[in-house]
Amino acid sequence: MDKPHENPVDAYWMPFTANRQFKKAPRLLARAEGMHYWTPEGRQILDGVAGLWCVNAGHARPKIVQAIQEQAAEMDFAPPFQMGHPKAFELAERLVQLTPAGLDKVFYTNSGSESVETALKMALAYHRVRGEGQRTRLIGRERGYHGVNFGGISVGGMVANRKMFGSLLAGVDHIRHTHDPARNAFSVGQPAHGAELADDLERLCALHDPSTIAAVIVEPVAGSTGVLIPPQGYLQRLREICDKHGILLIFDEVITGFGRTGTPFAAQRFNVTPDLMTVAKGISNGCVPMGAVFAKGSIYDTFMNGPEHLIEFFHGYTYSAHPLACAAALGTLDTYADEGLLTRAAELEGYFADALHALRGLPNVIDVRNIGLVGGIELAPLPGEPAKRAFSVFLDCWEQGLLIRTTGDTIALSPPLIVSKAQIDEIVGTIATALKRAA
């Protein structure tokens, strides 16, 4: 038997982490409440990223905690295949009250990655069931992030997430990303330029023949690649092209869902309704892993044919609609409703934008992007050392008692929706100090 590791953090291979750097100086979190974490030593850390884009209602909220505790004592697990439990149906009814009109069916998953895989499979199967089985091609977007399973990294467009894993799914292509700092740097809210970038989908339709394309998947606001805001008219144009060619439009709202942009979903903020919509993170406030796909009723109805005793869609997960996850999600929705959190980002957006854009002119800040309560601060990279400058700012902020997130040389912010104006000032002030030190 192998002896225990001398270093107590050695056994854990950490995800999306510079493991060697971390294990030399671990950053540990031991407790959380409201807007803050605490380290094992008792140092308070202001949460500037809602955990990982997910703790939208803040930490340790009483209704959510109580719901999980009570459910664990009542029923720990219920099989989701050919069986159900009441909270799964109650939650679905409450969720579709929040979605754009028409997105009225809910399929449960356990993560954003699983939600994406589910939506892609739904799209492919939908066309096959309706007699257009030749529609097998999936279209993503450069710099897109759709989780880390094979379908998600295939339609995704973040190079580092793809390059180690071979050829991925066949029959996938990508439209251009929308990042255009030459025309749109320091835009407040939606950039004015770039709606025409949606026409890149027409290029792929001409190349592949639109009758072979099943679906297009995009994030309404691209998060993990560095907060890319859609240009004015861009999403509307994508919707028009998809309708023209009979292509399903999938919105990945794993990050933007549940209030992040000032409306329950970004689809409502931009007034564009997709055919399928993936969610996770904020659905359960990050307390118990959970995701979902919202589908148009017409898509669901297309599957409901053949003998009634046969399974219509051969897909699902052991933990779909897990009782603890459903309880956490119901407690989360109660908390959102009690405090108006699904629209609070709209109330704070102007203040948040002013605070972020005040960083313009500080050393190495080359762009600031914002919408709702999500922001991106792009830094000039150190020559020959991409991502190192932003990472040094991340470490400095941690030492100052602030948790931020970096992706490449962009600082991403997505504070819990309970954030106060004073805490916004604290977040931005701490970053400003770190930027000056990193110059």
What's the CATH fold of domain 64-339?
Aspartate Aminotransferase; domain 2 (3.40.640)
Q: Give the per-residue pLDDT at 6.
A: 74
Give 319's contacts (C-beta < 8 A, 6+ positions apart).
80, 110, 289, 325
Neighbours of 437 (CB within 10 A): 12
Give the Å distances, CA to CA, from 439 to 173, 243, 406, 424.
Answer: 39, 49, 17, 23
Segments in the chain below pLDDT 70:
1-5
- CATH 3.90.1150.10 spans which residues of the chain? 19-60+340-438
Give 56's contacts (C-beta < 8 A, 6+ positions apart).
50, 258, 259, 260, 281, 282, 285, 336, 341, 416, 417
Q: Give the per-residue pLDDT at 2.
A: 61
CATH of the domain spanning 19-60+340-438:
3.90.1150.10
Gap between the Cα atoms of 333 and 258, Å rounded = 9
121 is written with which tokens? 């499979």
- CATH 3.40.640.10 spans which residues of the chain? 64-339
Gap between the Cα atoms of 319 and 409, Å rounded = 36
Helix, strand, coil: what percent of the chain each, to 5? 40, 15, 45
Tens digits of residue pLDDT in 335-351: 999 999 999 999 999 99
Letter string b/e over residues 332-348, b meaning 16 or more CB atoms within 10 A of that residue's CB:
bbbbbeeeebbebbeeb
Tens digits of residue pLDDT in 146-203: 999 999 999 999 999 999 999 899 999 999 999 999 999 999 999 999 999 999 999 9
What is the model's pTM? 0.97
Tens digits of residue pLDDT in 89-130: 999 999 999 999 999 999 999 999 999 999 999 999 999 999
Collapsing DSSP to helix, strand or coil, 327 comes out as: helix
